[in-house]
Structure 1
Amino acid sequence: MFRKQSEIRGSQTAFIDEMISGQKVVKAFGQEEKAVQDFDEINDELAKYYLKGTFFSSITNPSTRFVNNIVYAGVAISGGLVAIMTGGITVGGLATILSYANQYTKPFNEISGVVTELQNAIACGAKIFSLINQEKEVDVEESENQLQNIETGRVDINDVDFSYVPDRKLIENLNLHVKPGQRIAIVGP
């Protein structure tokens, strides 16, 4: 769940960055409403996962405390029954047993408070490591398409694919031939 939050947050950040850097183009083509609608969809999906994450993280610690309090009550009842049956437990002995039970359950309560933060950190760490471990898309030294005709000022680009997100290509099989002195602009969807 935290991993999905991280992915959607990344998509949201990329979308915001793209809209800010291309705001003149968005306005020029009258796509403001579409941009707001797309942002709202991403934001709604992020909110859905945040609500789920918050619910599950907020239920972990109280659940652990509830179970530990049942254990504590069980120890107290057991100590009371031993006192009644044997008639030989003192108030100090019962207090000692309850103190030990509390010392046993306290670390579980503290750990359950950190579990949510740990899960979120693991999800963020996984995203960082996936970015670090990504293979190079193009190895310039091994590329067959080396730069040619640099001195003429002409730029030829053949069969170029581009995407911000691997599953959603923005540009496919682009062939571009720019003559010296020409200016071009590539405008996104």
Structure 2
Amino acid sequence: MSTHDEADAEAAELVETIDPGDVADGASFVTVCIQRWWNAGPEEQKRMWQIFVETGIFVAVCRHGFMLYICDMIQSGELAKYELALTDKLINVYGSNLCIGYDIGCTFSSTVSSSPLLAPKAHATNLRFVVPSFHGHAHNRRCQLDWHPLYITDAGLEDFEACESVFSFSNLVAATVCNATAFHRHQAIEELFKYWDEQKYANLSR
């Protein structure tokens, strides 16, 4: 079998079901990329959804590392509704020709295309998704050729991995907000990222 045939066969692997609200909802089929995405989230992690109301944050960060938007994930993991809401907000505020990096952007683009509310807006504004550089190597070869920023001319030298730095930094307050009230949790997160943005702004001139 040739290299292209192997890539086609790998990309065509399907799974039987898609969990409601998953980022793959709306896709015509699910490739090995989304299967690996699911495998990265162990089942044991879902137990915390029954313990905590807010189970994490979903963020949008610009290429310079500045925090744009934050939303709570409520008793769930990363569902499509969070990314759909943030994508809609980004289009409304920043307009056309956006390029958004998302871990499973290859499949999520199909979710956006099947959204009756967001699809026309995404098409009209020339919205583009890519798979971040580091995460891209967990995707199959055919996917990388279409979605990895290394092969996208307009992406330049950007790696689209700014969110990973944000999440690493946010671990500083993770232990302190687990049992906090909603108000104090939001206050701690807001103060943390206010400091984060100040540091990023100061570094722009260096």
Confirm or deny a common fold (TM above 0.5).
no
In our comparison, the structure showing a higher alpha carbon Rg is: 1
Of Structure 1 and Structure 2, which has the larger fraction of its residues in helix?
A: 1
- With the shorter chain as reference, the TM-score category is under 0.3
